Every structure is written in C-alpha cells, then in structure tokens.
C-alpha cells in the first residue's frame, strides 16, 4: 500500500482527451490528460505519412534491395 506522505494521489479512471474529445480512460497521477496525437490521427496509422527524400537516399536504398517505390 502506498504511503500518503510520499506518493501522489492515483486516479484509476483518468479521461484522455484529443481535440476536445474523450478517447480513453487510463490510470494516472493526473485527474485529466490531453494529447495532441493518438492512434486515429497519427500519420503512420492513417497512411498520410510521406517519405522526405534527401540526396536520393530512398532511391538508392530501393535500388540496392530491388524494391519498388510508390511512384513505379
């Protein structure tokens, strides 16, 4: 059992907000959490991620390993 004098208060059902919408409940030492990015709006999971090619590195990698790019 945690001691009251040393440990912060624990909230079992802390709401997590993203863009003003409640998206989940988690355990936390804060009564409310706000996040900027989560699974539904992260570029990796929404297929809106783009590869920024500097100095042709992506093309050299794809050519070296015989992979096709999205443009081919």
Distances (CA, A) of 72 to 13, 55, 62, 66, 67: 49, 19, 11, 12, 10
Please report, for the chain, the start and end positions of each structural domain, with discontinuous segments joined by +.
1-49
pLDDT at 17: 93
pLDDT at 28: 95
pTM above 0.85, yes or no: no
pLDDT at 16: 93
pLDDT tens per residue across span 22-67 = 988 999 999 999 988 887 777 776 777 666 666 677 778 888 888 8
Query: What is the length of the chain?
Result: 72
Rounded-to-integer distance, Cα 40 and Cα 17, Å: 12
pLDDT at 54: 67
How far does the chain reach from its first CA to its final CA, in angstroms? Answer: 60
Question: Which fold, 1-49?
Answer: Rhinovirus 14, subunit 4 (4.10.80)
Query: Which H helix or E strand runs over 11?
Result: strand 11-18
Rounded-to-integer distance, Cα 61 and Cα 42, Å: 25
């Amino acid at each position: 059992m945690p001691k009251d004098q040393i440990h912060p208060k624990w909230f079992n059902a802390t709401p997590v907000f993203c863009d003003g919408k409640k998206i989940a409940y988690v355990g936390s030492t804060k009564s409310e959490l706000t996040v900027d990015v989560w699974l539904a709006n992260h570029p990796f999971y929404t297929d809106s991620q783009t590869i920024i090619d500097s100095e042709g590195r992506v093309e050299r990698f794809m050519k070296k390993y015989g992979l096709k790019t999205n443009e081919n």
